[in-house]
Structure 1
């Protein structure tokens, strides 16, 4: 990944004057982290990224993810395929849970079974859909069998934390919130959660790895960007995440703080209503109903993509805190294809394609976006609306809280979205291109764990087969070729239109550093005082 301190960005609001007094030093054993997105579920079976950001510091995965999301040794020190459907993992010796009980194969099996049985919307079911059994062979060997070939299973096993089978058996949500069931092996123990305000963690004195530097870690939920930055500069916080592009200069100009950044796995994309023959959310240029949904026509989808000035969004709307996206995986991540570039910004070509498709005067639509989930999301949405309007797609922009947008994806009378197009972000938790393909463009099939984020009814049998083949081919070179073919097919068909990759940006006290991660997570054990 492209890790760096962040260079100068443009666009500082006039009300955000530089010149902040140096912050007082924090207690050497305490760390205060301000995060934009709040924890909403204490149970580590939730795959929602803001929850994982905190729970993965309490519950460690069988394998860890490095900063580019590749699996590395964790609770398991070695792993291999015995045959096409059998994986063997060797557990690390001497690992104990926070309550002093030893880690065993039954904890691995219990965690996997628990995650497969969880019924909430955001789960790990799709990552574990091929697992059929987990068994112990002796004290340190775990054998996982799968329904079919699963060469990428280690990537998926690195996404979720292992819980204590004894502590979580029959546990209620209150017991996770209160701490009785919150027993992991991680460097930090569960402390206290005040919903809407924050979470406290404490050092695990018996941690198997490098001793945690911090005695107490406090995660404060500060959704307001300006408030989060102000708290850092005032010395009330030591580290903040999700620094918005419009406030980076304020931190750069401060004597007591600095920035670190990396290109993140999070891709912001438009998903288009391609399934309905007629869409109630698309109208003619005078607001009249249309006999056919324009987004059923590939030329219209291509026109929309050509209308987007991705470089302009990255440089101006996101003030340098983004990279234009023409595929599902950012540079440095699994199966990023450096030869696959975004469709060129070409308003004239967009208008010509619309005319060729039968819409010389364009049409009207609503574009829905979040206004509280991704840095700059509402501002980007407004910019997109203006760009589409230039080519004749008269766009009403509707920005709402992310919780409302999630509901609206399937709130239409027919179970589809109640909008013509919406902007969301997606970053595969396991860092795999196949997961992005399966989630975003494969035909939705809840029973098979396919198409989990394909809410517009798009379906392409040939693409489905390519994705399935890429997930099961044990030859790495063939698998990469299949991924490239599937990616190019999906991008060419354009049911999903990538817009940009975000940059994860952290603000830190001048005397602190951290390891930037592609998943944007802020792990306390990577934060250290500078020498």
Structure 2
């Protein structure tokens, strides 16, 4: 608990005896300290890295915001409409000021989108505005965006693009965003300081047009160790701690000081399947290279998906910190198909399918996994290997950190045959997941970036393309659901589970989970009495 909160509680106890507690209740809403697992790597809002974006959403806004299920809602734009299939008009709010007091103008929007399209970096938001051909003012409080092709998901994609002040950012360096002259947004909090490896400090913005933010100051402390982060919560050093592993849920809930709040996220844990002719980590039963890839047989792919006990993984390995998955997005999110349930766990069926496919004795496989992405990633990988081995796919495991893994897993010639990883769309769009994980790998078109197995289904590719060019929302959702079913029926990937976000929250506070597992101070408030 912060010093200021301790003082407020002590004062409240003294005044309670005199019946004067009403006057000091607001003092509890002054400062908030949050422990987060992942340190940020930069303050520039146009460079993409999830922990960074979590911080930046407090300071910078976009034309379109996201609700807690990541669906688009008005933000700096009050509304938008389609002028023609490749032209959109966004009406801007007329009461927005940057944190230096200057008003928002269409020129700021034009500058911000162009900057997001052209900024250099390892991770950027280029893909989310790749369809944008031009942006121009169409009045004092409106912008018109022309796209290269029909782009019905433009509003959702624009939710990822922070609007910055042109006069402050033009010519600025990345260092200027760390509390410097470029760190000027329109959001409820203003940037004070980022101390690399330690913390980020924000303070309430007096220029924000909406209701005042619930906290005067917010400090995000980086505590990467799960036990240390939980201990900081239970000792009162912090008010909220994110990414609490399931193994510590009981400790938090039984502490008498805090509780666990959780919610299903859009992050899908999945397994790739190599469809190439010469898979590097698939062998025959004697360990020799195969002359024919067994995964090109649908029955073999079905055998894999029925060999996996998703309920067991979610409940035992993840300790309730995951939800079994049967498709690309969870219930309540964009493109979810209610008819696609997680594949049944049926090892006998798996063995039967392998025999029918001509592999009665099975074959060998090595799967590659991350060891630093989420709590339980290695254990999940090992458990899945055991499940596959039990039905005849004799599976070995190799794990490695993200920095090594992704350089080998993607590109023109991926070095793995099957791997386990997670994917979640920053825009909350199921089309992003379909496009990245299951569409044909095409570096020119930018599709199939994580389609490491060389999967290519013309029917699916056509459905994804049609869905992402259909303006009618209901028709697009039907097409996305159809695309998901096509991909899953053909076992383009093997969905395992959706990660759940889990926060430890001290007594006296409430927290609303978001589907991207971001920890938002605007979603944390004192509990109603």
Same-fold call, TM cutoff 0.5: yes
- Which residue, 497, 503, 521 being the options, matches 1:524? 521
1:189-338 alignment, distance < 5 Å? 189-274=190-275, 276-338=276-338
Counterparts of 1:361 and 1:194 in 2: how far apart (Å)?
57
TM-fit CA distance, 1:237: 1.3
Label 1:104 to 1:226 Cα distance change in 2 as closer, same or farther (>3 A): same
Counterparts of 1:285 and 1:118 in 2: how far apart (Å)?
50
The answer for the alignment partner of 1:454 in structure 2 is 451
> Deviations 1:167-224 (Å, cap 9, x if unpaired)?
2223222223453322211111222222222222222121111112222211122222
SS at match of 1:269: strand
The answer for the alignment partner of 1:25 in structure 2 is 6
TM-fit CA distance, 1:100: 2.2
SS at match of 1:272: coil
TM-fit CA distance, 1:105: 0.9
Label 1:126 to 1:188 Cα distance change in 2 as closer, same or farther (>3 A): same
Comparing 396-405 and 424-433, the one that deviates more = 396-405
CA contact (8 A) 2:113 2:161 kept: no
Counterparts of 1:298 and 1:485 in 2: how far apart (Å)?
19
SS at match of 1:127: helix
CA contact (8 A) 2:417 2:453 kept: no
Runs in 1 of length 4+ with deviation above 4 angstroms?
none
The answer for the alignment partner of 2:500 in structure 1 is 503
- Which residue, 512, 515, 520 being the options, matches 1:515? 512
TM-score using structure 2 length: 0.91
Whether 1:142 aligns to 2:123 is no
CA contact (8 A) 1:416 1:457 kept: no
TM-fit CA distance, 1:297: 2.6
Counterparts of 1:511 and 1:38 in 2: how far apart (Å)?
27
The answer for the alignment partner of 2:23 in structure 1 is none
Counterparts of 1:180 and 1:25 in 2: how far apart (Å)?
34
- Which residue, 440, 444, 449 being the options, matches 2:441? 444
Counterparts of 2:390 and 2:7 in 1: how far apart (Å)?
51
Comparing 301-310 and 393-402, the one that deviates more = 393-402
Label 1:141 to 1:334 Cα distance change in 2 as closer, same or farther (>3 A): same
SS at match of 2:272: strand
The answer for the alignment partner of 2:344 in structure 1 is 344
Counterparts of 2:503 and 2:396 in 1: how far apart (Å)?
33
TM-fit CA distance, 1:422: 1.2
Label 1:485 to 1:26 Cα distance change in 2 as closer, same or farther (>3 A): farther
Gap runs ≥5 in structure 2: 9-27
Gap runs ≥5 in structure 1: 1-22
SS at match of 1:472: coil
SS at match of 2:444: helix
Counterparts of 1:459 and 1:277 in 2: how far apart (Å)?
13
Counterparts of 1:328 and 1:214 in 2: how far apart (Å)?
36
SS at match of 1:457: coil
CA contact (8 A) 1:129 1:449 kept: no
Aligned residues, how many?
506
Whether 1:465 aligns to 2:465 is no
CA contact (8 A) 1:70 1:431 kept: yes
Counterparts of 2:363 and 2:370 in 1: how far apart (Å)?
23
> Deviations 1:4-53 (Å, cap 9, x if unpaired)?
xxxxxxxxxxxxxxxxxxx9838742211111222123221223222211
1:170-181 alignment, distance < 5 Å? 170-177=171-178, 179-181=180-182
Counterparts of 1:294 and 1:238 in 2: how far apart (Å)?
52
1:28-43 alignment, distance < 5 Å? 28=28, 29-43=30-44
1:97-176 alignment, distance < 5 Å? 97-176=98-177
Label 1:113 to 1:26 Cα distance change in 2 as closer, same or farther (>3 A): farther
Counterparts of 2:455 and 2:195 in 1: how far apart (Å)?
41
> Deviations 1:362-404 (Å, cap 9, x if unpaired)?
2222222222222322221121111111112222222322232
CA contact (8 A) 1:283 1:365 kept: yes
